[in-house]
Amino acid sequence: ILMDCEMPVMDGFMTTKLVRSSAFRDIPIIGITATLMDVDKCLPAGMNSRLIKPCTHQQLQKMIECTMLRAKIPLKLSKPSD
């Protein structure tokens, strides 16, 4: 899950806590934030990783790969066609 930390109504931190208390508690969650102050809140909220936006496609892909490997989830990525 790519979780935006600054969503309206319910922020990504509360949403992550709800996901972690559900049947999907083991699903990897990557927190995405534009606020440097929110970065330190991601891991305590239950997110597996965090990324500051804006980010490049390569940074996002690397974060997904690393998070999936740590979670021991097989990953099959295809390269974008030119």
Interior/surface letters 47-69, b for 16+ CB within 10 angstroms, e for the rest: bbbbbeeeeeeeeeeebbeebbe
pLDDT in tens, 38-78: 888 999 999 999 999 999 999 999 999 999 888 887 766 66
Percent of the residues in the chain that have a pLDDT greater than 70, as a whole number: 90
DSSP code at position 11: -
CA 82 – CA 80 distance, rounded (Å): 6
- Do β-strands 49-52 and 2-4 pair in parallel, antiparallel, or remain unpaired? unpaired
Name the pTM for this structure.
0.83
- State residue 74's pLDDT score: 75
